[in-house]
């Protein structure tokens, strides 16, 4: 049991010793688990390209990180990748289990794997893991356990070993390798020459060969510690940490700078040593590493460290200007105050005061290698530390103490104290703000003594400032207002106390804080900075500070030795730098890294000098090397990551890697008009400070507002040419160069050139059809008009014809009336003549005179002859034919056998005369008329059922 206990002590004591040597300031350590980067747990190698993108040889493939996005690229055979290296052309060479090749971007900017295994002679294509890759000019070396494969242009050489190659690396332009049982070799003129066959190398396992001094090399071994190789002579490098090296394993090492080396171990984490072998810094699980087994180390472009762990990945902002100081690392309590006094750093925490000796002659005090110890008699909540009269005063919940070295002597107790302030320049007496008002502390003969209450307000006064001009003390309570305490001329008594609130010019009664900066008494309010106007006895906005802070709500102000003003607003820390100016008399620098890390409501900033700013934090104390931070020699860069088609699987349009021509003429189908853009910056140590602005030329008019968001979506873009621009900046206002990607969205098929040609042809055709339709319609309208005109003419003609017909009918009727009248006249005349003849005939018989009788007979004869004259008939027939369209002529022509008597009968019948009337006209009996009718029917060939009158009345002779 005792034996195992001794072994345990040997294991932990060196680590404890190492911890004791650490600097008090711990740089930012960020760790990433396999759940975050979605890859395998183990990471065997790390590389970085010229753009800052990181590549990890991971159990599941090639893992990449661009500052915002992780991505894994497996090899075709899904092998574990054991090594990764990037050549000057940007090709990413990897070595895995039975696989050698490289990744390079394809035409779409997506990393694609190219195997080189086919170039190896067939008999040597079987091998195990490739553990190391080395570039030397145009030569590429791959180390497996049983062979080293060298590619030189198109030539491939294989160097097998009967046992094992256990290491390969390069220093300057020489490639070194260790062969078990033979020693350390160097490649020279196509062969491996032994450079060191010392038995300690032959039996050991080299893990790195590094530059040391001139031709001297530093060699690390797996179990045997460190050696120096001078020529061919091997010298054991003794260090104070040899026990650790001998009890742990050194997996590998890199050179950080001329004086520092980083060693990755199996269980002790990362060790930073100097050239002398002294431990400068140790990083392990306690300091924030995800795992203490370091597989690989990379010093990135900004001199920060990346660690490939046995489980996860860690980043150490080794070159960062911000560090954390933990007085009590086990508890990591909050800090409320800090002060450097007598070459010691004092930190007031929620559980007492801790101090550590420091070397104030060095510039960055966080690099002081020291240990904190608790100051005796300071248990409890600390509120303030102040150096007054070359003494360090402590304000805590129990009262006031004077600290001397690592001990504290209480001045008074039972009266919780917040802060101290000299009562005036040249006056060594002190005013203390307490839980119940102001306390007067006198200083005489190098001793402090409590003189009692100067202003018993029974109010906790956490903020206080002495105004020598007005001979008063300003004190504030966040929930009451601001107190103006007028003093007696000897400044030992209170004359008057006035409470100033919103009615006295303050924007609000609540949340007002009093500070003295730039020799001004100011009130920090929720509406900016206010100053007191003694003439008007009111507060008003400060003319000096209003242009700086505007209406910003300020909770804390403190002026540093250079005149810069440090401030806290809504859990954010910043500084108004009056020296680092650009276009104005001041520059505001914010620290996004510290957001929400400070103690809200009890903010404290102690600006010792521009290299050492101490800020109270929720966990420990934050240290800022402001000069280094402000110099910020690394401007942010910006990288365009993947461009994906939104809503589509396997939709990577651009993989994030530009090829030679930058693919400025990429085209997308119109259906893929919704795109997702990713972008990032590889300024890893300022990750929280980076903001991006973007613009899609062809869509956006102006650049977007700055935002920490590293992606942007555009949906339903119209067809056309676009250029996506993005740029980055940090909180110091340093802007990166903008980067762009041009692409074109093709129009939809219905908006293509072919479609437009078709539309044009269709338009012409439709125009042609329209013209034709119009012509047809016009013609139709003309035809309709013509028809209407014709109809109108016909209608008019019909009207005319109708009128003519009516006229003719009227004429016919008139003629018929005339004929009828004439006929009746003839009939009457015949009757009259017949009657006269009948009357004269008896006279002839009765007369006795022969002469008279002869005369009468002569008259009767004349009358009879008058009745038989045809002159009247001829006139009648002519007139009848004129009225009845040559009826008699046509009838005679049609029926030539008709006699004149028949024609007369036809005419009289057409005039609808009775048989009696016809008999008188024809001078025949009615019986003779009927006989004449019968004969006429025969001559006309009329059937018995046909009425003679109807035939003559309705039938034209020509149509018969």
Task: Determine which of 87-96, 700-709, 816-825 has the lowest per-residue pLDDT on average.
Answer: 816-825
Q: What is the mean pLDDT of residues 133-148?
A: 95
Higher pLDDT, 690 or 915: 690
**Residue 50 token pair:** 């010229």
pLDDT at 954 > cutoff 80: no
- pLDDT tier at 660 (50, 70, 90 boundaries)? low
Q: What is the DSSP letter of 70?
A: E
**Residue 351 token pair:** 């559980």
**Residue 768 token pair:** 């042609």
Say what the pLDDT of residue 665 is.
Answer: 61
As a whole number of angstroms, the distance between CA 378 and CA 409 comes to 9
Higher pLDDT, 842 or 650: 842
* Strand, helix or coil for residue 485: strand
Query: 212 near 275, Cβ under 8 Å?
Result: yes
Residues with Cβ within 8 Å of 246's Cβ and at least 6 positions away in sequence, in order, are 223, 224, 225
User: Using N-to-C axis directions, what is the helix angle for 915-922 and 753-846, rounded to 10°?
Assistant: 60
Q: What is the mean pLDDT of residues 116-134?
A: 93
Give the mean pLDDT of the chain.
Answer: 86
Query: 571 near 598, Cβ under 8 Å?
Result: yes
Say what the pLDDT of residue 808 is.
Answer: 67
As a whole number of angstroms, the distance between CA 397 and CA 381 comes to 6
- Reading across the β-sheet that carries 335-341, which strands appear in turn? 335-341, 344-349, 352-357, 373-374
pLDDT per position as a tens digit, 600-657: 889 999 999 999 999 999 999 999 999 998 887 678 899 999 999 887 656 888 888 9
CB-side neighbour CA atoms (13 Å) of 452: 3
Nearest to 385 by CA among 566, 91, 608: 608
- The helix (H) or strand (E) run that includes residue 469 is none
Query: 269 near 294, Cβ under 8 Å?
Result: yes
Higher pLDDT, 83 or 601: 83
Q: What is the mean pLDDT of residues 450-468?
A: 88
As a whole number of angstroms, the distance between CA 840 and CA 274 comes to 189
Strand partners, 355: 346, 373
Length in residues, the chain: 960
Say what the pLDDT of residue 221 is.
Answer: 94
- pLDDT tier at 396 (50, 70, 90 boundaries)? very high
**Residue 806 token pair:** 């009516």
As a whole number of angstroms, the distance between CA 317 and CA 471 comes to 49
Say what the pLDDT of residue 945 is.
Answer: 81
pLDDT per position as a tens digit, 36-47: 999 999 999 999
Task: Determine which of 702-711, 833-842, 882-891 has the lowest per-residue pLDDT on average.
Answer: 833-842
**Residue 205 token pair:** 């396992």
pLDDT at 435 > cutoff 80: yes
Q: Which residue has the tokens 């003093």?
A: 487
pLDDT at 957 > cutoff 70: no
Task: Determine which of 136-150, 461-475, 527-541, 940-954 has the lowest per-residue pLDDT on average.
Answer: 940-954
- pLDDT tier at 845 (50, 70, 90 boundaries)? low
* Distant-in-sequence contacts of 343-351, Cβ < 8 A, 24+ apart: 344/405, 344/406, 345/24, 345/614, 346/375, 346/385, 346/392, 346/403, 347/372, 347/621, 348/378, 348/382, 348/383, 348/384, 348/385, 348/394, 348/396, 349/382, 350/381, 350/382, 351/379, 351/380, 351/381
- pLDDT tier at 478 (50, 70, 90 boundaries)? confident
- pLDDT tier at 894 (50, 70, 90 boundaries)? confident
Rg (CA), the chain: 63
Percent of the chain with pLDDT over 70: 90
Give the 3-state secondary structure of 713-745: EECCCCCEEEEEEEEEECCCCCECCCEEEEEEE
pLDDT at 758 > cutoff 70: yes
Q: What is the mean pLDDT of residues 928-955?
A: 79
- Read off the pTM: 0.76
As a whole number of angstroms, the distance between CA 867 and CA 280 comes to 175
CB neighbourhood size of 626 (10 A): 24
Q: What is the mean pLDDT of residues 655-681?
A: 80
Q: What is the mean pLDDT of residues 141-157?
A: 93
Higher pLDDT, 521 or 832: 521
């Amino acid at each position: 049991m005792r034996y195992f206990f001794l072994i345990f002590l040997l294991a932990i004591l060196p680590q404890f010793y190492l911890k004791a040597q650490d600097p008090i300031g711990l740089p930012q350590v960020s760790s990433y688990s396999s759940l975050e980067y979605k890859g395998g747990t183990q990471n065997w190698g790390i590389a970085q390209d010229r753009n800052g993108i990181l590549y990890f040889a991971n159990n599941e493939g090639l893992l990449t990180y661009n500052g915002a996005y992780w991505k894994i690229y497996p090899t075709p055979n899904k092998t574990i990748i054991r090594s990764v290296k990037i050549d000057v052309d940007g090709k990413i060479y990897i070595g895995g289990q039975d696989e050698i090749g490289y990744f390079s971007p394809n035409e779409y900017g997506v990393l694609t794997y190219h195997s080189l295994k086919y170039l190896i002679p067939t008999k040597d294509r079987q091998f195990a893991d490739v553990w190391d890759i080395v570039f030397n000019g145009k030569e590429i070396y791959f180390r497996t356990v049983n062979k080293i494969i060298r590619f030189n242009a198109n030539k491939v050489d294989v160097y097998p070993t009967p046992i094992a190659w256990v290491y390969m690396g390069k220093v300057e332009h020489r490639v070194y390798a260790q062969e078990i049982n033979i020693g350390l070799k160097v490649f020279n003129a196509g062969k491996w020459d032994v450079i060191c066959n010392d038995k300690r190398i032959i039996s050991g396992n080299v893990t790195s060969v590094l530059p040391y001094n001139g031709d001297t090399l530093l060699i690390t071994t797996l179990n045997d510690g460190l050696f120096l190789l001078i020529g061919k002579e091997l010298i054991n490098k003794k260090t104070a940490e040899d026990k650790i090296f001998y009890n742990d394993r050194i997996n590998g090492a890199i050179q950080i700078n001329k004086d520092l080396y980083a060693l990755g171990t199996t269980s002790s984490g990362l060790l930073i040593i100097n050239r002398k072998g002294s431990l400068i810094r140790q990083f392990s699980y306690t300091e924030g590493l995800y795992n203490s087994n370091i597989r690989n180390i990379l010093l990135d472009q900004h001199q920060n460290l990346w660690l490939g762990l046995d489980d996860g990945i860690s980043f150490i902002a080794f070159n960062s200007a911000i560090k954390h100081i933990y007085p009590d690392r086990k508890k990591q309590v909050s800090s409320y105050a800090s002060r450097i006094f007598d070459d010691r750093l004092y930190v007031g925490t929620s559980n007492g005061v801790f101090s550590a000796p420091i070397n104030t002659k060095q510039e960055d005090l966080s690099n002081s290698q020291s240990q904190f110890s608790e100051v005796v008699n300071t248990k409890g909540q600390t509120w303030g530390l102040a150096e007054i009269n070359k003494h360090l005063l402590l304000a805590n919940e129990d009262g006031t103490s004077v600290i001397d070295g690592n001990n504290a002597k209480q001045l008074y107790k039972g009266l919780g104290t917040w802060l101290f302030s000299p009562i005036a320049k040249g006056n060594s007496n002190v005013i203390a703000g307490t839980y119940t008002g102001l306390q007067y502390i006198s200083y005489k003969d190098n001793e402090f003594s409590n003189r009692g209450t100067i202003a018993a307000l029974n109010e906790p006064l956490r903020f206080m400032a002495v105004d020598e001009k007005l001979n008063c003390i300003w004190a504030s309570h966040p929930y009451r207002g601001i107190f103006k305490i007028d003093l007696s001329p000897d400044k030992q008594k209170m004359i008057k106390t006035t409470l100033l609130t919103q009615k006295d010019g303050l924007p609000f009664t609540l949340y007002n804080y009093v500070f003295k900066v730039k020799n001004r008494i100011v009130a920090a309010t929720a509406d900016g900075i206010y100053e007191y106007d003694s003439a008007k006895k009111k507060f008003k906005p400060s003319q000096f500070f209003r242009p700086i802070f505007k209406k910003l709500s300020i909770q804390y102000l403190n002026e540093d030795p250079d005149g810069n003003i440090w401030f806290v607003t809504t859990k954010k820390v910043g500084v108004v730098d009056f020296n680092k100016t650009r276009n104005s008399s001041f520059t505001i620098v914010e620290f996004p890294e510290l957001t929400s890390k400070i103690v809200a409501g009890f903010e404290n900033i102690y600006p010792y000098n521009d290299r050492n700013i101490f800020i109270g934090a929720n966990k420990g104390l934050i240290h800022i090397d402001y000069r280094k931070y402000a110099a910020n020699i690394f401007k942010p860069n910006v990288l365009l990551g993947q461009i994906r088609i939104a809503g589509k699987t396997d939709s990577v349009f651009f993989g994030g890697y530009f090829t030679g021509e930058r693919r400025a003429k990429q085209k997308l189908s119109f259906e893929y008009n919704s795109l997702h853009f990713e972008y990032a910056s590889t300024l890893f140590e300022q990750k929280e400070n980076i903001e991006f602005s973007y613009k899609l030329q062809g869509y956006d008019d102006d650049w977007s507002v700055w935002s920490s968001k590293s992606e942007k979506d555009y949906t339903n873009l119209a067809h056309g040419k676009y250029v996506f621009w993005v740029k980055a900046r940090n909180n110091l206002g340093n802007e990166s160069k903008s980067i762009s990607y041009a692409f074109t969205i093709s129009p939809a098929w219905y908006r293509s050139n072919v479609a437009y040609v078709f539309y044009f042809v269709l338009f012409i055709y439709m125009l042609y059809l329209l013209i034709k339709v119009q012509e047809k319609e016009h013609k139709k309208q003309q035809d309709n008009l013509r028809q209407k005109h014709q109809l109108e003419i016909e209608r008019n003609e019909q009207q005319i014809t109708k009128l003519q017909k009516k006229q003719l009918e009227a004429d016919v009727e008139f003629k018929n009336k005339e004929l009828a009248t004439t006929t009746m006249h003839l009939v009457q005349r015949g009757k009259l003549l017949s009657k006269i003849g009948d009357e004269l005939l008896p006279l002839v018989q009765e007369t006795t005179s022969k002469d008279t009788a002869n005369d009468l007979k002569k008259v009767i004869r004349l009358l009879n002859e008058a009745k038989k004259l045809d002159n009247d008939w001829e006139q009648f027939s002519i007139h009848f034919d004129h009225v009845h369209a040559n009826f008699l002529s046509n009838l005679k022509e049609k029926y030539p056998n008709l006699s004149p008597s028949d024609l007369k009968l036809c005419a009289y019948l057409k005039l609808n005369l009775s048989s009696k009337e016809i008999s008188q006209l024809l001078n025949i009996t009615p019986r003779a008329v009927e006989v004449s009718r019968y004969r006429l029917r025969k001559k006309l060939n009329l059937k018995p059922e046909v009425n003679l009158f109807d035939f003559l009345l309705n039938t034209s002779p020509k149509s018969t």
